[in-house]
Chains A and B, each alone.
Chain A
Amino acid sequence: MANVELVNLTKNYKRGSEIIRALDGVSLKIDKGEFVAVVGRSGSGKTTMLDLLGLLLKPTSGSLLIDGVDTTKLSDRDRARMRARRVGFVFQEYNLLSGMNVLENVTLPLRYVRDAKAAGRARAIELIDRVGLTDRITHRPTELSGGQMQRVAIARSMVNSPSLILLDEPTGAVDTETAQQLVDLLKRLNREDQVTIVLVTHDLDIAGEARRQIRLKDGKVLTDERVGEAVGAA
């Protein structure tokens, strides 16, 4: 069973009297444990697609299934619960809370999942160790480098053991060397935890590290390629 399935997914925006088709009838499947890069020019629909996958937006039409659940039929509350349990987010600007230390930032999502705190704390400590920040566990974000902050954000995205992690330009705010280290970390976590990763980027070098590349243009899938094979447009 596919981890994520988009069926004729469409998202329109209204700008005055004009209707913008940000995502235009996209259908595709992403299997569990895949590492997918979504690329495309600005305005191609990749961020809208990420927001839809993260259940932050509701589609205008079509269906989005995550782990077999049709998310388009869920209430706002159930969508929030699904985000808490099955989806992890990593943003370009890290979005760490400045008043919290590393451990508190990583455990933030646990407060929205019932009965997750006790086991979740142990997992948070383990994840902080896996991203190499054990010696920074009590540090505030202002005491960390960009790369370290993004590693904290990656640990936070995995603390609830989600099946899907969504990354929005995660290397956009760090230098090339740090970006490569982050991609290596993501590949390792993807391999070790079999977690599905969908990464949005305009950096083709970073996208080249993924095992599958989906190229969007004008809200439609232009190409969908796995490493070494062309899958074709959906």
Chain B
Amino acid sequence: METIRNVLRHKLRSFLTVLGILIGVLALTTMGALAENFNALLDGGVKYFGGSVQVGPPDGQAASLLPLSKIDEIKQVPGVSAAFPAYAFQAKPGQITTVSFGVPDTIIAGDPQENQWSALKLTTTQGHYLTGSSGEVVLGSTIDKEFNKKVGDTIDLPVRPADAKPDFVNHTFTVVGILNVTRTAPDTFAYINTTDGQMLLKDSLPIAIRDQIDVSKISEGFDVYGAPGSSLSQLDKIADGINSQVTGVKAVRPSTVVTSFKSGGAIFTAITTAAALLALIIGGLSVVNTMFMAVAERVREIGLKKAVGATTLNVMGEFLLEATFIGFLGGVLGYGLGALITIIANATTPAGQPTLFLITPNLTILSIGFAIALGAVAGVLPAWRAARMDPVLALRSE
């Protein structure tokens, strides 16, 4: 109670000090939420790419067309438990690619059985996953919101661009399922069956060679799986095995992809967090200044408290509590405001655009906890000065 009263003794000064912490925590919360969202996206990539081996054309080959027969060779490699052909197409061809925190809308074609092997299990919030029948599509949560579809509706894929040429071809698919939110790539994906994927592959081929290629015998790449629960090093070994035993393909070591994802996430987190921490530390310096002023103003009070029995620790504790309370107040208000801003920003994100912010329990603890710790640390020096004050001089100060 006395702590609150002391903080309120100089309302404007306390308000400005709390405001300093508030701005710092606000920055930490919003920047942190941005980093958390980005990390969630990367974590999905880590989970996906860290759980399978991606096989594509060898270096130097631009066209991503591989004979489907390679899948049998790949399955012969020791450690391989399953391999599936993979196809990916732009869901909105002609769309200008901009810098984004999400993955562009993409059509993914593959064997429905692959979901059983993937480390990133897809689950539906409506309907069901692909059954293998032609003409089915399962939409990710973001792409579903963008096109406002429900199970049973139809959607034409790829989406016809506004300036489409007369020979542009797309196909009508029936929505059989809508995926739960993953906060990573599948949210912007539309999943179709392999045969439909081969149909889209044919549409995407140049007219000159379209009729010469049997798309039922080619794939854009392969997703290869080891035994369930395989470690990264075991998958790396499988990739090495594919590269040495199967000609005309290149397997990417999952650890290379995972490392790349993680370093990207670490750099982004470091930049955003450092900027926010800088703002917060500047706020912390205002607490130091305020507490030194409080000590200077309350010299006689400190002298009196020591005279009536306060120990050095008692006096230090009282001032530390006050500084910590300022940190707590700034932390809670800054976090609350930051969370509110991120909620509003996410809620007003246009349909189909990935949301930018993610508030996690870790971020909540970090934001408020750091503000409290900063307040306490900022109070140490002023509290120490108060605690070491000579009571005789303090009592007779003007």
Least Cβ–Cβ distance between B307 and chain A, in angstroms:
5
Beta-carbon contact of B311 and A95 below 8 Å: no
> What is the 8 Å Cβ interface bit string for chain B, positions 300-342, against chain A (1 contact, 0 not)?
1101111111111110000000000000000000000000000
Does B45 make an interface contact (CB < 8 A)? Answer: no
Least Cβ–Cβ distance between A94 and chain B, in angstroms:
10
Beta-carbon contact of A112 and B311 below 8 Å: yes
A81 with B392, Cβ < 8 A, contacts A95-B300, A99-B6, A99-B9 known: no
Does B104 make an interface contact (CB < 8 A)? Answer: no
Beta-carbon contact of B309 and A80 below 8 Å: yes
Chain A CB within 10 Å, residue with most, of B303, B306, B307: B307
In-complex Cβ contact of B392 among A57, A76, A84 (8 A): A57
* Across-interface contacts of B313 in A (CB, < 8 A): 77
A156 with B311, Cβ < 8 A, contacts A56-B392, A57-B392 known: no
Does B5 make an interface contact (CB < 8 A)? Answer: yes
Beta-carbon contact of A84 and B309 below 8 Å: yes
Residues of B1-40 whose CB lies within 8 A of A:
2, 5-6, 9
* Across-interface contacts of B392 in A (CB, < 8 A): 51, 56-57
Beta-carbon contact of B307 and A83 below 8 Å: yes
Does B395 make an interface contact (CB < 8 A)? Answer: yes
Does B283 make an interface contact (CB < 8 A)? Answer: no
CA distance A83 to B392 in the complex (A): 14
CA distance A156 to B303 in the complex (A): 15
* Across-interface contacts of A99 in B (CB, < 8 A): 2, 5-6, 9
In-complex Cβ contact of A80 among B2, B311, B395 (8 A): B311
Beta-carbon contact of B312 and A156 below 8 Å: no
Beta-carbon contact of B300 and A80 below 8 Å: no
* Across-interface contacts of A45 in B (CB, < 8 A): none
Residues of A170-229 whose CB lies within 8 A of B:
none
Task: Give the number of residues in B that approach A within 8 Å (Cβ atoms).
Answer: 21
Beta-carbon contact of A81 and B309 below 8 Å: yes
> What is the 8 Å Cβ interface bit string for chain A, positions 137-173, against chain B (1 contact, 0 not)?
0000000000000000000100010000000000000
In-complex Cβ contact of B309 among A51, A91, A93, A109 (8 A): A109
Does B391 make an interface contact (CB < 8 A)? Answer: yes
> What is the 8 Å Cβ interface bit string for chain A, positions 43-57, against chain B (1 contact, 0 not)?
000000001001011
Residues of A89-109 whose CB lies within 8 A of B:
89, 91, 93, 95, 97, 99-100, 108-109
* Across-interface contacts of B308 in A (CB, < 8 A): 83-84, 88-89, 108-109, 112, 156
In chain A, what residue has the closest Cβ to B308?
A: A109
CA distance A213 to B312 in the complex (A): 35
CA distance A89 to B313 in the complex (A): 21
In chain B, what residue has the closest Cβ to A78?
A: B311
Does A113 make an interface contact (CB < 8 A)? Answer: yes
* Across-interface contacts of A89 in B (CB, < 8 A): 304, 307-308
CA distance A117 to B306 in the complex (A): 18
* Across-interface contacts of A160 in B (CB, < 8 A): 309
Residues of B53-77 whose CB lies within 8 A of A:
none
Beta-carbon contact of B306 and A80 below 8 Å: yes
Least Cβ–Cβ distance between A106 and chain B, in angstroms:
11
Least Cβ–Cβ distance between A111 and chain B, in angstroms:
8
* Across-interface contacts of B391 in A (CB, < 8 A): 56
A108 with B307, Cβ < 8 A, contacts A56-B391, A95-B395 known: no
A81 with B304, Cβ < 8 A, contacts A57-B392, A99-B5 known: no
CA distance A85 to B310 in the complex (A): 11
Beta-carbon contact of A112 and B309 below 8 Å: yes
CA distance A89 to B301 in the complex (A): 14
* Across-interface contacts of A97 in B (CB, < 8 A): 301, 304
CA distance A83 to B303 in the complex (A): 13
Residues of A53-89 whose CB lies within 8 A of B:
54, 56-57, 76-77, 80-81, 83-85, 88-89
CA distance A112 to B305 in the complex (A): 9
Beta-carbon contact of B9 and A80 below 8 Å: no
> What is the 8 Å Cβ interface bit string for chain B, positions 280-316, against chain A (1 contact, 0 not)?
0000000000000000000011011111111111100
Beta-carbon contact of B310 and A112 below 8 Å: yes
In chain A, what residue has the closest Cβ to B390?
A: A56
* Across-interface contacts of B395 in A (CB, < 8 A): 56, 91, 95
6 inter-chain pairs at a CB distance below 8 angstroms, sorted by A residue, are: A77-B312, A83-B307, A97-B304, A99-B6, A109-B309, A112-B308
Ranked nearest first, the 9 interchain pairs of A and B with the lowest CB-CB distance are A84-B309, A112-B309, A109-B308, A80-B311, A95-B304, A83-B309, A89-B307, A56-B391, A56-B392
Known: A56-B395, A95-B303, A109-B309. 7 other contacts (CB 8 A): A56-B307, A84-B309, A84-B310, A93-B300, A95-B304, A112-B308, A156-B308
